[in-house]
Structure formats: C-alpha cells, structure tokens
Amino acid sequence: MSKNITIDGKTIPFEEGQTIMDAAMAADVYIPHLCHQPEFTPHGSCKLCTVNVNGRNCTACTFPAMDGQEVLSETQELIDDRKKITQMLFVEGNHFCMSCEKTGNCQLQAVAYHLNMLDNHFPLFYPDRKVDASHAEVMIDHNRCIFCALCVRASQQTDGKNVFALSGRGIHKHLIVNAESGLLKDTDVDVNDQAVHICPTGAILVKRTGYQVPIGERIYDHQQIDQVALASEHPKHGK
C-alpha cells in the first residue's frame, strides 16, 4: 500500500526515508529553499522551506514524511515569512546584484524574484567583510556568504576534504577555511572541487571566468527558480 502526504491539498506519494522536501520535489511541487541539495545531509539553516505540518511549523528539508500528514506550504503567512527571511539575508550581507558577477545565476536573487521581493525592508547592516583572493584559481567574497554550509558539506561529503567550516554565532557567524593562516591558498582546495561550484550566491568564485556568459543569457534570466529546481530533480523535463 502506498503512503501519501498532502501538500496544500495535493496528494503526494512518498517512499520510506524521504523528507517532505524529497517527496515534494519528486512530485514537481516546489518549496523555496537555499541551503538544500538532495545529495547532501540536510542542514535546515536557511528556514525558507518552513512548512506547516499538522499545525506545527518545521523545515521541509529535515522533517520526515509520514503517512497522513497534512502539509501547508503556500499560506500567506508562510509566504510573508519567507519574504522576510530573504530580505534579512540581503541586508545582513553586502549583496549588490547590479555589480555582482553571479547576477542571473544567483539562487538568492532568484528566490527574491520568486517571492516578489521588491525591497530590502530592513536597514542594511553594511558589515565589514573581507575578500580572500589569495588562491591562484579560487576566491572567497565573504560579503555574499549566506551561511548555507553547502560548501562545507560538499567538501566533506563529495570532495573527501575538510576545507570549509562555519564559525561563530549570530551576527558573528562567518565562513572559515582549514588553514592556520586562515587563507584559502594554504588549503588543499582545488578548482575542480564540487565545493567550489556549489555556492548559491557569489561568495565562492572561480577566477578569470567572470561574465563568460553574458547577462541576459544566464540561468534565471528566462526561467523562474522553481522551474529550474524541478527540472534538475527530473532532468528529462529540462530537455
């Protein structure tokens, strides 16, 4: 007998061990997210995928699907909360889309468009964050880091290394690298590592590759992030 949950009234089948996010994506139901990638251990840090399950709020990427669950994702309250979270992500860093190489390819920017975020709402923090350009091929712009820990998980779980980590809490949280000097050049990171290419913003970039794809021809210039996310879950849909 198949097991099912409902998401906003739609019946969604799931397999044992799947999370609500897994089941939703497999059924072409998009739940906004930034820190989630299905191949990595769920992190639940961005909170964008918060849904209401039987009256209780939880993150869809970490909460297991269980038979009979009634999940609400597209309520106005949850949509408003996601917009506020996205606004806070923009103001706590230094995200200037007009001058960023990642514009058009940035998931944070694309989520903001998806949520119809028209302004920052909150005062900008303008934190004093550094750029680490010490490595010959890879750079870190800490101004754009949203602490999703995707690079941390990719380095550990795919690359078999331990290059990145998050340190500190709250406003003092920051991305660090595994080197006594604190510089990327003194780590064993390689330009081909998945950790280098997984960043959803422009925090980790490969040098000398900027603007090879012109603005207007980038991933999210012609597609919404929900279309891209669901196509990646089902590659045949993107053909």
CATH number at residue 44: 3.10.20.740
Residue 89 lies in a domain: no
Residue 86 lies in a domain: no
Residue 92 lies in a domain: no
Please write the tens of the pLDDT for every residue from 185-197.
Answer: 999 999 999 999 9
Flag whether pLDDT at 2 surpasses 80: no
Residue 139 lies in a domain: yes
The parent domain of residue 105 ranges over: 100-224
The answer on 116 and 15 residing in a single domain is: no
The answer on 119 and 24 residing in a single domain is: no
The answer on 126 and 77 residing in a single domain is: no
Please write the tens of the pLDDT for every residue from 16-27.
Answer: 999 999 999 999
pTM across the whole model: 0.93
The answer on 71 and 123 residing in a single domain is: no
The answer on 110 and 33 residing in a single domain is: no
Q: Which of 198, 194, 167, 197 is nearest to 182 (CA)?
A: 167
Supply the CATH number for residue 137's domain. Answer: 3.30.70.20
The answer on 154 and 131 residing in a single domain is: yes
Please write the tens of the pLDDT for every residue from 156-196.
Answer: 999 999 999 999 998 889 999 999 999 999 999 999 999 99
Please write the tens of the pLDDT for every residue from 48-93.
Answer: 999 999 999 999 999 999 999 999 999 999 999 999 999 999 999 9
Q: How far apart are CA 80 and CA 11, in angstroms?
A: 24
Please write the tens of the pLDDT for every residue from 146-156.
Answer: 999 999 999 99
The pLDDT score that the predictor gives to residue 101 is 93
Reading the block at residue 139, the tokens are 């750079």
How many domains does the chain contain in total? 2
Bridge partners of 174, per DSSP, are 167
The answer on 134 and 68 residing in a single domain is: no
| Strand positions, DSSP E, the chain | 3-7, 10-14, 50-53, 56-59, 70-72, 131-132, 138-141, 164-167, 174-177, 204-206
Secondary structure of the chain: what % helix, strand, coil (to 5)? Answer: 30, 15, 55
The pLDDT score that the predictor gives to residue 171 is 84
Residue 187 lies in a domain: yes
Terminal CA-CA length for the chain = 33
The answer on 179 and 104 residing in a single domain is: yes
The answer on 64 and 154 residing in a single domain is: no
